[in-house]
Amino acid sequence: MRIREQSSSLCDTESKQYTGWLEAKGKHLFFWYVESLSDPQNDPLNLWMTGGPGCSGLIGMMMELGPCLINEDGSGTRRNPFSWTANASMIFIDQPAGTGFSYVDEGVEMPSDSFTAAEDVHIFLQIFYSAFPHLSSLPFHISGESYGGHYVPTVAAEIVRYNKLDPGLRAGLKIPLKSVMIGDGFVSPLDTTYGYYDTLCTTKPGVDTPIFNETRCTQIREALPRCVSLHESCYQNPDPILCHAADSFCSGQIRALFDNETGEGGRDPFDITRTCEVDQLCYTGVLRIQDYVNEPSIRDVLGVPKQVGNFTVLNEEIQDLFGQGNDLYVNTAREILFLLENEVDVLIYNGNLDLACNTAGNLRWTERVAWAGQADFVSQDMRVWHAPKDGKTIEAGTMKEVAVKANSQSKKPSRFSFVTVDRAGHMVPLDQPEISLHLINTWLIGGEL
């Protein structure tokens, strides 16, 4: 266990902050823990995981929702007035092992699927709570975006399964998990592809004319039935050969129509109204973060071990491993079902300009989760919700929500909410920081939008 308290030299959090590495079976996971600006002794704890797979949690911290953001020239950081640490303490983690500043011992393999990674994160959390025991009495939430649609449900499900064990079989703490929050999540690969038509062939706030012409939209319409059929076969029988074939067809006939035109100066799958700034992840901000934390002086302040090589915001080896391990084709909606059945609240939010993990696709799978609240959820129309922005209250997007007891043994209702955010892409906290903070703060206190 290596933990050090940080000063404001790297990030002026205006509250206590700690960085370090915790070991899980030869896997050393890097974290940056920042206490709440409001009431750290009583405010909830929120774990943040960026997607990828293989993307560093520092993208979320320094480009979206952390207390400080990378500045324009990458030489330092600036305060974020809409940090999610306003009313919650935050853990930003580099996981799976091998991501960002996290690393593995010699002879230890990096994870190749979300479920193995979830076991590692659960061990990490047990050690983290032993280092900060006062947090064990506070509500715990898990949040993430993009491939966080795989990470967040699997980590949460791992916690719930452990908590349900007979006390005699539990060596560690029952983590007080209250909810999960998934932004623009990659949950169901089938539904992500299904949403390409709605995203590219219809209008919405910020998109007055469809992105694709009728020829391309017709091609998507005609390919979707076969794509859906193949993916459903993969879900029913997750054989790697079958799943790769399904993904190959859907990619070649549908996703490639857009994806082949991405990259620097091309289309941006994370915001269909933008042009890609750089090849990797389309945002120059991620490269500024990468350059900043690779500075020898920064690594020295963080105490980066010699075993850690050059920091990259995206470890492509992990991405390849997850593809080879079939994880890219898994539907984690079943983990969402498990959470709802075990009294864990679920918030799904989506930027309407995102194609990579689009609103239409994520709405489709949320309506197919077969739990006690499904009928009420499906029958509801989306309604407008409002949020503050620049001193005014505006229409922020649409939403629907149910709160239903999952079964006769349930002690409380499970809350399931789907929220869209207009004029936001894949990274809602980046595009609409004030609105996203309002959304999260409202959720954390159990309020209504």
Name the active-site residue from 28, 141, 426, 438.
426
Annotation marks residue 426 as catalytic: yes
The one catalytic residue among 94, 268, 345, 354: 354
Query: Is 376 part of the annotated catalytic residue set?
Result: no
For 176-208, give one letter per residue: b (16+ CB within 10 A) or e: bbbbbbbbbbbbbbbbbbbbbbbbbbeebeebe
Could you confirm whether 251 is annotated as catalytic?
A: no
Among 56, 89, 102, 146, which one carries the catalytic annotation? 146
> Residue 231: which of 200, 196, 257 has the closest Cα?
196
Helix axes 214-236, 240-250, angle to 10 degrees: 170
Catalytic site positions = 146, 354, 426
